[in-house]
Structure 1
Amino acid sequence: MSRSPSGRRPSDPLKAAEAAFNKATTKPIEGPPKAAAIPGVKETVTLRIDQDVLEFFQEDGPGWQDRINAALRKAAGKD
């Protein structure tokens, strides 16, 4: 809050309250829009899952990451 030259609070408390409210409720400026996902492009992530779940997907050998991805797509309704 800015103070008057005398060091006292502004003479109009309503204006001061409105300014504080506007500062607190103004939507921040957003950065550039997020790029749309490109179909078929995969992203490397770190994911913590229970050991027994990991073992379930790894039981059938190579391709376990694709099987996890397929299960997640189905759960997300993206299949």
Structure 2
Amino acid sequence: MKDEDIDCSDIPEATEEQMAQAVLRVGGVPLERGKQQVNMLLDTFIVEYFRRKAGDEDYQVLINATLSEYIQHNPLH
């Protein structure tokens, strides 16, 4: 059965409070909440894209949000 074939209409959405209490896991391993500073090389066009997309906002925050959204829609398993 495919995910889109499952009827979830009787399952309530998780609240912000419930999500705040959730244990974050990657590959089954619990992780602490927070941020970790990293130093990485990105292609110039990627950095420029996010700088322009972010406008007056912090482009690094936009990169983080984009990666977070990707991970939520593409689990490891």
Bucket of the pairwise TM-score, normalised by the shorter protein: 0.3 to 0.5
| TM-score when normalising by structure 1 | 0.46
**Higher RCO (C-alpha under 8 Å, 6+ residues apart):** 2
| Structure with higher strand content | 2
Relative to the length of structure 2, the TM-score reads: 0.47
Greater Cα radius of gyration, structure 1 or 2: 1
